[in-house]
Structures are given as structure tokens and as C-alpha cells.
Structure 1
Amino acid sequence: MRGRALGLLAAFALLVLLALLSVAVGARSVPLSTVVHLLFERDGSDASYVVWDLRIPRTLIGIAVGASLGVAGAVMQALTRNPLADPGLLGVNAGASAAAALSVTVLGLTDLRAFVWFAFAGAAIAGTALYLIAGRGGASPVRLALAGTAVSAALTGLTQGLTLLDQQTLDQMRFWTVGSLSRADAGTLVRVLPFLAVGLVLALLLARPLNALALGDDAGKSLGAHLGRTRLLSLLAVTLLAGAATAAVGPLVFVGLAVPHMVRALTGPDQRWVLPYCAVLAPALLLAADVVGRVIAREEIDVGVVTALLGAPVFIWLVRRNKAARA
């Protein structure tokens, strides 16, 4: 336990360092000493504007979204007992994308802040549909996965149809669907933060029931876990976390899939440690990818592209080491 606690503290220190780099590095770099100074004293300079109005909101959104996706992925893998599960398996990301596309096509919305609510509503509707299709409280992990795949496929088809039929929707959605921290602002964070906070707290409270559920339905019942309630609350937590995160920055791949595998290689399968580690290491990964995207090319590369490019080799390496299989 002491080693895990020290490891979590080290992970938090890494997150703080990456947050400082996220504030300092960009098209206009700001020395770390200046960043630290401006955090305590806003002086009205150009550097102060860059740090407070651009970089800090972007960094805070990255931390909130990263923590949400990492925890949502860990809950999904525990709930479905499927090591390849991620928030997208529930159709939550597809629901957010479909609702965003509808808001652009039908209502003509063009501002991210305007269709964030539609995206979150779409994610919530997709999560509710999955719960009803899979059989409510008695849904097995297999039925959840199959129902999620069906819901995701249908909503993805709707989104693609809308973007192909309407040029405005295509222009608006082709940037949002990549996944980017640069287009969200402090207002976006304020809109989604309550949902993210509730989802994180709910997921952490479900750590013990998820541990019992991982042993199988019969063993979980014998340990006192309420299977139906645990699955319902887990679906609610994933919907809140992944739905709000997707609404804020667009669908991001890999983070919710691979980070729980990395964490279990360090902590083992105990969700009481997996979830807090994911809440710290997932935003660290997301901020690192965002910083890399700013400096790797002349033009900034969206974080969704970087996470996919950097994440795939790491995940392959994890699989080849068989760490994921033993977790």
C-alpha cells in the first residue's frame, strides 16, 4: 500500500510538471520561471494574457477531460470484463457526435459553446438507449458490449449521413470530431465541469462493487454486491464522464482504452487504486500529447491525432509484454 501511495504521489507530481509545460510551451513559449511568477501575480503583459486567457483554460480542460476519459475507460473494462472496452463501446461518443451534427444541420449552430449541450444530451440519450436495449439491471457484460456496438454503429451512420448531405455540417464537424483542446475555452469547462465532477465521484464510490463484479456474477452476489444497481450506476458514471468530455473537446481515442492497462501493470486489478491512478495518469498523457502536438510541426496538430499516433505503439508494446492479459 505504501508503494502504491508513493507511486500515486509521483504520478501527481508528473501531472503538475506537465501542466506547467502545457502553460509554458506553444507558438509563443513562456519561460517556466515567468509562468510561476504570473500564476501568483497577473501583470497585464502579453505573456500574462497568453498564460491566463489561453493556456490555463486549455490546460484545465485537458486535466478534466483526461481524468474523465481514463476513469470512464477503467469503469467500462471492469463493468464489461472486456480488456478492449473504452467509453466509445457504449455508443456515448457516437451519441454526442450525432446530436452535435443534428444541432448544426437543423438549427444552424456554428459555435462550439452553443452545441456542447446538444452533444451532452446526445451522449445521455445514447447511454439510456443502451441501458434499455441491453435489458436494464439484468444486462450481462456481453449484452452491454453488443448493444453498445449496435447503438454506436447506428449513430455513427447518422452522423456520417448528415455530414455528407450538408456542407455546413461537414465543415463544422470535421474539426470537432478529430478531438482538440484548442477550441474549448473557460466557458466550455464551466458548462461540463459539474457533470465531470459528479461522474468522477460516482465512479470512485463504485470501486468496491466493481471489484466484486470482476469476480463474476455469482461471486459478486455472494460478496454482497447488487449487480443491477452497480451496472446502472456504472453506466451513469461513464455517460456523465465520457459524454461531458466528448461534448467539450470532441471524441478522443486511446486515452480511455490504454491508460487503464498501463495502470493495472503498476497497481494490479484493485479498482480502489486503478481509478485514482487513471484520474492522474490519463490527464498527464493527454497534456503530454497536447504539448507534443504544439511543437512537432510548424502548424499545431490536434491532440486527438497525437494520442492516436503515440498511443498505438505503446498499446502494442503493452500487449506484447502480456501485462494487459495478466492484469
Structure 2
Amino acid sequence: MEDLRIKMSANSVATARLSAGHERVLPSRRRALPLVGGIIIAALFSLLMILNLLPLVWGMLTSLKAEPDLFRFPPVIFDFAPTLDNYKRVIESGFLGNMQASLIYCVITVVSALALALPAAYAFDRFNFPFRQPLFLLIVASIPLSLGAAALLIPNYLYFTKLGLTNAWFTLPLIYTAHQLPMAIWIIKGTLEGIPKELDEAAIADGASHFGILRHIILPLSRPALGAAGVLVFVGSWNEFVASSVMVDSPALRPIQPAIYNFIGFFGREWGPLTASAMLAIIPILITFALLGRLIVSGLTKGSVKG
């Protein structure tokens, strides 16, 4: 019954806003781009695409070369006999187990970060409490943690060792969640700022609790932001290297990035297995962006324009 009241109140507020003319469809005001400008922009974007794809193509070709072809001079691009020996060696080394461990860590991190970020963003956007603004500024200042915090590695290692939390299946998800949470809160809060507070007021007038509002109104309307935050949290956790190379040392718990580093041996880099493992490591990232990359744009821009 409470769900029905919340939905009815949300629909009534939306209808009132439309009838009052608060949400208007503005006519498009696009200016025609000159032909020369269009050609220049297309050329620049093509050049940028080539520069980004060139290392990927070179790494893929290198991963298919046998050892004699790797050290030929001048280097060959297509004039070689492709082989899958490098991929076979990588798979036999247990690399797929490292990929599975990384996937488990990333899924746990995404679920944990979103479950904590949504109510936190809702509280920062809808409630007034002491030190609200300084706390949110602290969260924004902590966003660079999503890129990995090498400066925090030593204190984290000391604390985790003292508490007996190192070398366990939950060690890296705890660290990843702490690193990615500020960015997730910031993204979701930007979307919540574009959701009218009249929906909350109408639902409260009908007897809904804040948990009901969060579940039945905020959650459905913030799905693009949740998707964008989830994608970025997944990519940041998947690519993390510093903490994952120190906090766990068990081969069964080792994630994918330190596993790639194992092919940089004492006697030099093993370019064939190294590039083959790197090509396998980017497959989940490519799949994630192919399926959910659209959510990044919609989730980051949904709260930028308010009606």
C-alpha cells in the first residue's frame, strides 16, 4: 500500500510540474558547422583514434609473434608466422585463475561501493546536518584515491597487518571500496540534485518513510548514475596495482595486475607472454565499455541540467 501511495504521489507531482510549464521542450538551436571546420575536427578525432589504437594493435601483434620474430631488426609488423604459444604459456601459468580472482574482487567492490554511495549521496543532498559542507568537500578531495593511493600504502599495510586483515579474500575489496567510494558518491549526488524535492515532499505527505523514498523514487531515477559509477568503480578496481601487489602474496588470491608483472623477470622482459597477458587483461574492460559505456555519458550529464 505504501508503494502505491509513493508512486501515485510521484505521478501527481510530475503531472503538476508539466501542467505548470516547469518542464518545457526547448527548440534546438544548432548552428551548421562550416565544411572546413568539420573536416579539421574529423581529422583531429581520426588522429586521436589512431594514436589510441596503435599501442593496442602493436601489443596484439607482438603477442602473436614467436621469440625469433620479437627480436628481428628492423621490426616486422605483418611479415611473420602467427603463433598462440605465448597465450598457451600464459594460461598454463594460472593466469585465468588470477582473472577470476580480479573479477570477484571487482564485483564485490562495485556492489559495496554502490550500496554505500547511494544513501550517502541521498543524505548529502536532502538533509542538513553539522559539518555537511566540509565533509562533502573532504569526499571530493578524496576522489584521486580512485586512481590508487601509493602514499597510503604503508599505513594501510601496517593497520591491516596489525588487525590480521592481510592476505584474505576480503582484503582487496575493502581497500578498493574505500578508494572508489568518494567518486561514486560524487557522481550519484550530481544526479540527485536534478531530482525534484517535491517528489520527496509528496511521498512524505502520503506517509512514506525516507527508506521508502530512497527505494521507490530515488533508486529508479538514479539508475544512470549508478551505472556510470559502477563502470568507473569496476575499471578502477580492475586496474589497481600498488595495493594488490603488497596486501596479498598468496598465488590463489593474487589479482590480475601483479600477475602481469610476473612476466617482467630478473633477466629482462618476456615480451611475448607479457603482451599476451596484457591482451587478455583488457578483454573485460572492452566488454564493460561496449555494453555499459553509454551509461557513463548519461550518468555524468543527467544532473547537469535542471528543469
Q: How does the TM-score come out when normalised to structure 1? A: 0.28
Greater helix share, 1 or 2?
1
Q: How does the TM-score come out when normalised to structure 2? A: 0.29
**Structure whose alpha-carbon radius of gyration is higher:** 2
